[in-house]
Structure 1
Amino acid sequence: TTTTNPCSLLLHVVTWNVATADPPDDISSLLHLNSPKSPDLYVIGLQEVYAAPHRFIMDLAVEDSWSLLFMSRLAPRGYLKVSSIRMQGLLLLFFSRLAHVPFIRDVQAAYTRTGFFGYWGNKGGVSIRLSFYGHMLCFLNCHLAAHMEYASQRVDEFEYILDTQTFYPKKMPQILDHQLVFWFGDLNFRIQDHDMHFVRNCITSQKFNLLWSKDQLTMVKTKEALLQEFQEGPLDFPPTFKFDRFSDNYDSSGKKRKPAWTDRILWRVKPKEPPSKEEDEFPLKLTQDSYTSNMEYGISDHKPVIGIFTLELKKMYETPLVRVCAEGEWSADFDAMVIYSPLQPFPSSAWDWIGLYRVGFRSISDYITYTWVKDDEVSFNNELTQVYVSKDEIPVLGGECVLCYYSSVLQCIVGISSPFKVSASAQHSRHTHTHTHTHTNTHTSLHLEIYLSL
């Protein structure tokens, strides 16, 4: 079912070179958590996340401290980490409000190493692509070559990333095939020609526009047709690099690096193909509401940059692929029943499963327990199917939970139940605390064992 009315959604995009620092205690202003309008999607791209070998191995075993921080702040507000990708210092996180999750499909992530100067792997790009209500979106977080003289090198690296990242299915194999592409990160473009005195005067007097014509990205755009397809809001904020840590002062070290807008957020809506009858194939519009830096964070020599966008689109579908619900009363005293039924044909598989989650769960791997779907299920069968969850798998303490149907073919959640109450167990009340702890945190304890063994 396609809706005719455009739907308006809010996107919050962050890029930040964190210069190997540990996360700050408070990220409220970074995520605008006190704003009256809550985003539908958060997309967070970090560069230079600390990636010394021992730390990187630990982060693979247990989520890295940045991911944990964002999940712990966003999950209680109803956001799920749908996907993430890490390549050494580059980290990209995609969060969605839970209501949209069953309409996010074809999720894939990719990475490309660049760094031709012997820094193999610490520069490059990581991306997440997905279908959102039937529209193909791609988010690309880059960290490009540093230093003033390498502007053309940065363009070459960007084009190399675009050329090498490929996705399936074949109809949209590359980044630029997507209807909407966000390109952001520490792109490392500098301010050319002007001397330090002039640059600093322009910043102090907030006449940023006097520097725009010598911003390297603005300059290379005039020569590169590909870059002209990418839009960017006006740079009406102070250059975000390079600061003395824990201050608003630009580099006072011996090197006295010239300030620059290294950290950027650009976007590209795929150009419409002639003839005009294809107009309806791209019922998607993006407008930028704000583009700012956040000066209050001092842990890095870069300030974070935040872009807020309104995405208008026509939903290609409004019904999830599967309806799933908890039948009857749930408690750890008896086996419980799950009922599900496909609402439209989709490529189901015997590897599909239904997870039980606490309300406010952080990511797909946060399930308390799961049950496999029926092996003999036919994809096109609309009938109700029942599966059971053993009472031994249900949390003794009870609480508010949801069920999520995970499609192994589509690699995403395709149906979420309404929240329901799991009653606390009558029989186990004396052993409640210990039982639940060992049961529901199997993931954590496993991670902890790996972590400690390192």
Structure 2
Amino acid sequence: YGIMNARALNKATSQRMQGMLLLVFSKYFHLPFLRGIQTQSTRTGLGGIWGNKGGVSARMNVFGHSICFLNCHLPAHMENSDQRMEDFESILQQQQFEGQASMGVLDHDVVFWFGDLNFRIDDLDMQVVKAAIDSNKLSTLWEKDQLNMAKDSETVLEGFHEGPIKFPPTYKFDVGTDTYDTSGKKRKPAWTDRILWRLRPMAQVSNSIGTCVSQHFYRSHMEYTVSDHKPVSSIFTLQVDMPLVTLFVEDEWREISDAVAKFKAAPNFPRSSWDWIGLYKVGFKHHKDYVSYVWAKQEESDFLRQEHQVRANHTFSWDFILGYYSNNMSSIVGVTEPFQVHNLFSFLLQHLLAMHH
């Protein structure tokens, strides 16, 4: 499971626990808005010893909102609905984030909870379930879905939302086919793979303008047959704020004299003498993937114009961006639009005069 976009992705963070993997990707121009990134993992298999079951999470501030992504693999089998809820509560209790982000999973403005949650369809036998699927009467099955029913009785599920499920159960299939289980066990189809989200009450959110999340679709992908599960995906949008640092460059750098940038910092942005501006190829994956960098030095009363020598290893003509890295926030907080650098074996990145509000 991962939070991905299809093009120009940069990995913001990841967390793995045995077969469980959580990946968070971002387009490069969103990187300035991802701060306070932390990850956690909790084992619940074999009484907390084994990591085949449990949860992995990643939290961060995104566009000024605190967000947590929680990927869980909960206990299997029809009769273990109560154990699934107990494991979920245990994961929530154990996952506490440190530092300025000192909070639990449910303390975030937005929580995305997803994974192989393993909830099943109660009461109805195999023939009834398959007949409902064949006749597209999924509402009959939804009424008996264990997770859906648990929302009425489990306090920990209060506030969690799930989009309408308009796709057939995603488990269990004969591998390599679109045929539900024909093995001797004949496991009953179920919606084991789920994506839910939760918003904190408006009075508690960390951003004064609140949080707005919209779901655009929620679907399964029947074309994949490498597993006995069918993948599930969803797309959401979250409202955005302005960047802390805005960088400006010319559209092309053809001469040394072109290698100049300007930046404007937000009034309350806490600058550090250890901040730097990196030159990145478009498509970079991490803030340390710079081709070269220059310190964004801070003088007594102003930021003085300074020249810094940066040498490339070979001649190039590529698309680049500049990114402003904040030492205090341990993240990129401003980026330029892509621009081209042409045929420069060595060039100067000239530090700018600060532009104050």
Q: How many angstroms apart in 2 are the aligned matches of 1:204 and 1:328?
A: 59
State the TM-score, normalizing by the size of structure 1.
0.68
- List per-residue Cα deviations over 1:289-309 (Å, max 9, x = no partner): 321111111111111111223
Residue 357 of structure 1 pairs with residue 277 of structure 2:
no
Q: Following the alignment from structure 2 to structure 1, what is the Cα–Cα distance between the partners of residues 141 and 118?
A: 16
* The one of 162, 176, 181 aligned to 2:92: 162
- Quick one: distance in 2 between partners of 1:117 and 1:385? 61
Question: How far off its partner does 1:119 sit?
Answer: 6.2
1:323 corresponds to 2:247: yes
Query: What residue identity is the alignment partner of 1:321?
Result: V
Amino acid at match of 1:133: F
Secondary structure at the residue paired with 1:366? coil
Partners of 2:265 and 2:71 lie apart in 1 by: 36
Q: For residues 293-442 of structure 1, what are the structure 2 equivalents within 5 Å? A: 293-311=220-238, 313=239, 315=240, 317-321=241-245, 323=247, 325=249, 329=253, 342-349=265-272, 351-374=274-297, 377=298, 383-384=303-304, 386=306, 388-391=308-311, 393=312, 395-425=314-344
Q: Does the Cα contact within 8 Å between 2:43 and 2:49 map onto a contact in 1?
A: no
Deviation at 1:86, TM superposition (A): 2.1
For 2:47 and 2:186, locate their aligned partners in 1 and report how far apart those are by CA, in whole Å.
23
Residue 43 in structure 1 maps to residue 3 in structure 2: yes
- Could you say if the C-alpha distance between residues 344 and 323 of structure 1 is closer, same or farther in structure 2, counting changes exceeding 3 Å? farther
Which protein has greater RCO, CA pairs closer than 8 Å, 6+ apart? Answer: 1
Cα RMSD (Å): 3.2
Letter in 2 for 1:357: Y
Instruction: Please name the residue that 2:22 is paired with.
Output: 92
Provide structure 1 residue ranges, at least 5 long, that are not aligned to the other structure: 1-14, 16-41, 45-69, 428-454
The residue type paired with residue 285 of structure 2 is R
Deviation at 1:85, TM superposition (A): 2.1
Within 2, Cα distance between the matches of 1:343 and 1:208? 51
Task: Give the whole-Å Cα distance in 2 for the aligned partners of 1:421 and 1:90.
Answer: 40
Asked if 1:199 corresponds to 2:129, the answer is: yes
Deviations 1:313-372 (A, max 9, x none): 3x4x414336365899467x9996666564444444455443221123334343333444
Number of matched pairs:
346
The answer (yes or no) to whether the contact 1:369–1:394 under 8 Å persists in 2 is no
For 1:148 and 1:111, locate their aligned partners in 2 and report how far apart those are by CA, in whole Å. 25
Instruction: Give me the whole-angstrom Cα distance separating, in 2, the residues matched to 1:280 and 1:357.
Output: 31
Counterpart in 2 of 1:107? 37
Residue 253 of structure 1 and its aligned partner are, at CA, apart by: 1.7
Question: Identity of aligned pairs, percent?
Answer: 47
Q: Deviations over 1:197-238 (max 9, x none)?
A: 111111111111111122111122221122131011222211
Segments of structure 2 that go 5 or more residues without pairing to the other structure are 347-357
- Paired residue for 1:237? 167
8 Å CA contact retained: 1:192, 1:214: yes
Change (3 A) 1:147 1:252: same
Residue type at the aligned position of 2:136: Q
Output the CA distance in 1 between the equivalents of 2:318 and 2:117: 46
- The structure in which a higher percent of residues are helix is 1
Shift of 1:108: 2.0
Q: Compared with structure 1, are the counterparts of its residues 396 and 279 closer, same or farther at alpha carbon in structure 2 (3 Å cutoff)?
A: closer
Check 1:388–1:247 CA distance in 2 against 1; reply closer, same or farther (3 A cut).
same
Cα distance between partner residues in 2 of 1:328 and 1:202: 61
For residue 169 of structure 1, report the CA deviation from its aligned partner. 4.1
SS in 2 for 1:159: helix
Kindly provide the CA deviation profile for residues 133-171 of structure 1, in whole angstroms up to 9, marking residues without a partner as x: 211111111111122222111111111111121224456
**Alignment partner of 2:88: what SS?**
helix
Q: What is the SS of the residue equivalent to 2:181?
A: coil
Separation in 2, partners of 1:382, 1:210 = 68
Aligned residues of 1:335 and 1:389 also touching (Cα < 8 A): no
Could you tell me how far 1:111 is from its partner in structure 2?
A: 1.9
Q: Is the 8 A contact 1:242 1:257 kept in 2?
A: yes
1:186/1:263 contact within 8 Å kept: yes
> Is the CA contact (8 Å cut-off) linking 2:66 and 2:109 kept in structure 1?
yes
- Could you say what secondary structure the match of 1:122 adopts? strand
2:186 equivalent in structure 1? 256
Distance 2:251 2:267 in 1: 21
1:285 aligns with 212
Aligned mate of 1:123, from 40, 47, 53: 53
Residues in 1 aligned to 2:224 and 2:74: alpha-carbon distance in whole angstroms: 23
Return closer, same or farther for 1:221/1:86 CA change in 2, 3 Å cut-off: same
2:51 aligned counterpart, secondary structure? coil
Q: How does 1:110-189 map onto structure 2 within 5 Å?
A: 110-117=40-47, 120-170=50-100, 173-189=103-119
Which of 74, 81, 84 aligns to 2:7? It is 74
> Of 154, 157, 180, which residue of structure 2 is paired with 1:227?
157
Amino acid at match of 1:323: L
Q: Compared with structure 1, are the counterparts of its residues 215 and 182 closer, same or farther at alpha carbon in structure 2 (3 Å cutoff)?
A: same
Q: Secondary structure at the match of 1:404?
A: strand
Instruction: Tell me how far 1:425 sits from its aligned partner.
Output: 4.6
8 Å CA contact retained: 1:82, 1:95: yes
